[in-house]
Structure 1
């Protein structure tokens, strides 16, 4: 059992130089900050250099008292792991561990000491340390320990977050952020949670509006009560009223049983109406009455039903614009927009990307049975922070999911994010061996919107040509890009480019013509006319099917 924690130097030396470089190459640069606590300045400097070489940020403390000052202050939220010396003046490592765990601080701790006796190991592990090393520790051993503990910690945080969200006890402390913009959101959320005021959360799709709503619920006096979430845009229009307000048996054709609506399900708790701007106007009238009178009228009911609920609404569109267009009631807008909270998009809080990436990585690596995928390469993390993320956190989550599935190595690289790499114009190099860039034997059509983006991002293979250097027109454009020039190097015809763009839009939005027309900035009638001109009507019917 103790062999898991005590590693003699002779047993941890790596004989294979390839493996050695694999273990000590940078991992998750800027994605983790490590607090180094040691009273020996030379040892602190050595650890600081090692941590920097691994790709992490670091902060140092000269003794246990200073370490506790850091872990009790605002900087504690940035510390992801602690390397703690055992023997120090004033407050030793064991005392620091006892204070940390007494304060319910679960930050992973690696204890290091010059003596690896059994009693010492038992003491520090019982006090809450996750690992134990004997000085002088080999860099490879330290790097493996840091990497594994950060991954395990991230996975435990994800599991805890899921459990809290399911039980209605999620708080703002469980939200992953190091962004000043999000700190303002959290501050507003905490103030709103202290009252029963109606809240309107605005922000782009995928920014985490439901997570903020859950944190408000879990921080209020309604914690542990039901949080009933309803996506108003996903309910068929003829069923909205029944789903929200319920119906009595026999109220309409097909109503064979009594149905309790979402308002009654949320009694005593919180009702979260996502995409509230999608509600039909006749339902908006009933919603207004429910907010004003705290009572609802089930379909076919003889009398109103009193309900006690806290209302949180969310939208990815500006409701005031919908009011001006006449599709949303002005009186309801002012009832919902009592306490507005706007969540910034991910591109405006790029400092959150490393921590979010690590948490998604830990989760998907566990779900997909890939424990060897333990980190993100430094240049890849920088690439992720350079991308603009139009789909926000939801897009980042899905990108990491796909990257984990594609990854065969110990860390995610740009090769595992082909779409993102193409968008930020970063070359994707296969991690196993250098890939020779040869001309393709057969050109892939540039307008192929259904081509596999992984294959588009990879260089084509074939026999090396001994003729003149390639001009670059022989290759298909990367996913998300369009060629401006044809094979001869001339500017392409405007009609050809327009046809290609329409094809790509239809494919990208799965044949939803309203969305296609909106994104192209044209009317539906204009879109259908162009479909006819370019002979794309069959594609339209196939997509609709």
Structure 2
């Protein structure tokens, strides 16, 4: 497997959540059993399936992809299982299906829930017995293909809705891998944005990619990215295309809104939605009533600019705020990181990513007299 293997070049990251997921993928890849991938749209399910294949003993075999949602239901059975000549009008010759094409390799079934029940029943037989029947054939054909299936909805919910056969899920779910969404991969947004920018700048023939300013990177980190990596990649490439200098100061999230330019988003809570690090609405950071946080307009006051004291740069303010929260959660949890993560409503991997990001500041705070 090389770095430019199709479908693998964007499986990048350095966050704890991403690295833990990749370790799990590598471990499961070595076991020749079916796998179910669960993840949001654009989170990289096909990339994970490719990793499962190329890290497995089947890596020299074919990696075949089929998306049941992208095919008409009337053609899906033929596409998966093939047909014999004369099986139906227009079937002039025998055609092999995707199962047979994936023999000795891996078959990736994306959006499994889109397959109708009749097709799911044939899938169950294929997984259970390693045999398929072409449409119009009288005898089964033995096929040795590993199945990796993916859904963007909890498959247990799909079973409850009647969209997925419970027997098929039971047979496929030897291992269930949850693909982490981009918003939980702390640090990976900037990491991926810079690489997408460099690659697209090279495609455009530019000698150097434009650099994101600190404000632009902070704004990217503030977005929820419901479309995950796919959305980030498109957004970054659009920003590179529209950049006319060495820097990217603003990024357009919505391509349909020509006025949409991401600027640092306020943190919810205070007047105007801003809570300064360590402070709350109507109180100073020390908690004294009646003292206004720097730059926050209180009720009955007229806004003025510039404020009496200068505001800190956005990235520094966010870093101070997050460091303060981490320090307080650790103190409350007696230094136990898992309990601190629970107190903040984070997963352990999310907490570890933030802890590594601010480790130097947190260590300095512990050593201070």
Q: Same fold (TM over 0.5)?
A: yes
CA distance in 1: counterparts of 2:39 and 2:254, whole angstroms: 27
Unaligned runs of 5+ in 1: 1-158, 428-545
Partner residue, 1:147: none
Task: Please list the CA deviations of residues 187-245 of structure 1 after superposition, one character each: whole Å capped at 9, or x if unmatched.
Answer: 22111111111100001000001111111111111113210011111111100100000
Task: Please list the CA deviations of residues 84-118 of structure 1 after superposition, one character each: whole Å capped at 9, or x if unmatched.
Answer: xxxxxxxxxxxxxxxxxxxxxxxxxxxxxxxxxxx
Task: Confirm or deny that 1:292 pairs with 2:124.
Answer: no
Task: Confirm or deny that 1:194 pairs with 2:35.
Answer: no
Partner residue, 1:398: 234
Partner residue, 2:201: 365
How far does residue 368 in structure 1 lie from its aligned partner after superposition? 2.1
Larger Rg: 1
Q: How many residues align?
A: 263
CA distance in 2: counterparts of 1:246 and 1:350, whole angstroms: 44
Q: Secondary structure in 2 aligned to 1:164? A: coil
Is the 2:105–2:144 Cα contact (8 Å) retained in structure 1? yes
Flag the 1:327–1:415 CA change in 2: closer, same or farther, 3 A. closer
| TM-score with structure 2 setting the length | 0.67
Flag the 1:197–1:246 CA change in 2: closer, same or farther, 3 A. same
**Could you say which structure has the greater relative contact order, defined with CA pairs below 8 angstroms and 6 or more residues apart?**
2
1:194-213 matches, cutoff 5 A: 194-213=30-49
Partner residue, 2:143: 307
CA distance in 2: counterparts of 1:206 and 1:193, whole angstroms: 22
Q: Secondary structure in 2 aligned to 1:370? A: coil
Flag the 1:307–1:402 CA change in 2: closer, same or farther, 3 A. same
Report the structure, 1 or 2, having the larger helix content: 1
Partner residue, 1:227: 63
| TM-score with structure 1 setting the length | 0.46
CA distance in 2: counterparts of 1:181 and 1:344, whole angstroms: 7
CA distance in 1: counterparts of 2:211 and 2:205, whole angstroms: 15
Partner residue, 1:512: none
Partner residue, 1:240: 76
How far does residue 415 in structure 1 lie from its aligned partner after superposition? 5.1
Partner residue, 1:432: none
Partner residue, 1:251: 87
Q: Secondary structure in 2 aligned to 1:213? A: helix
Partner residue, 1:431: none
CA distance in 2: counterparts of 1:278 and 1:364, whole angstroms: 34
Partner residue, 1:384: 220
Is the 1:373–1:407 Cα contact (8 Å) retained in structure 2? no
CA distance in 2: counterparts of 1:363 and 1:424, whole angstroms: 22
Kindly report the root-mean-square deviation, in angstroms, between the aligned alpha carbons of the 2 structures.
2.3
1:355 aligns with one of 191, 205, 222: 191
Is the 1:198–1:312 Cα contact (8 Å) retained in structure 2? yes
2:6 aligns with one of 162, 165, 190: 165
Partner residue, 1:480: none
How far does residue 425 in structure 1 lie from its aligned partner after superposition? 5.2
CA distance in 1: counterparts of 2:96 and 2:237, whole angstroms: 37
